[in-house]
Amino acid sequence: MSPGVAGPEPDVRLRPVETAISRVLFWGGVASISIVVIGLSAYLVQGHLRAHVASLAQLREGRAAGVYVSVGEIWRGLRRRPTDPLAIVAGGLLLLMVTPIAGVGLAVAAFASIGDREYVIISTLILAILLLSLVLGGTG
């Protein structure tokens, strides 16, 4: 754009939407990385420096120690005393996966609140794709 020629004015209604979404993504990322680091630190403090080897058959049957393949298993690992550090790591990774989904969900609500139907439809489709991939990805 050449100097002196004004471009289209940014929609001031979108500033709060952009700010809210960026905060969700930033703090979700910071929180998830922090949780993973805490879990890995606890793993090292407990002296688990040896590698755990699990066979594919154990993983399919859910018998591999320290492997969390569902939210329920992560929750059980977090409630166990002493808490399994790998459950903490898995919880942090789950939060990392959920963060963009929460951001897009917030976008749907924000665009709906300002009456932008086109972006409500687009963000709803993106949210549906993310949720579908999460559900289908978990089925193996």
pLDDT digits (tens, 9 = 90+) for 12-27: 777 888 888 999 999 9
pLDDT digits (tens, 9 = 90+) for 14-64: 788 888 899 999 999 999 999 999 999 998 888 766 656 555 665 566 555
In eight-state DSSP terms, residue 138 is: T
More confident residue, 134 or 93: 93
Percent of the chain with pLDDT over 90: 39
* Residues 93/70, Cβ–Cβ less than 8 Å: no
The pLDDT, as a whole number, for residue 59 is 58
User: What tokens does 36 get?
Assistant: 């993973």
* 85-95 mean pLDDT: 92
d(CA 44, CA 29): 23
- Helix crossing, 85-114 with 71-79: angle to 10°? 130
* 111-125 mean pLDDT: 92
d(CA 102, CA 11): 23
d(CA 122, CA 74): 32
User: Mean pLDDT over all residues of the chain?
Assistant: 82
Predicted TM-score (pTM) of the model is 0.73
* 89-100 mean pLDDT: 93
User: What tokens does 118 get?
Assistant: 């086109």
Sign of CA dihedral 109, 29, 69, 38: negative
d(CA 6, CA 140): 52
Q: Confidence band (pLDDT; 50, 70, 90) for 116?
A: confident
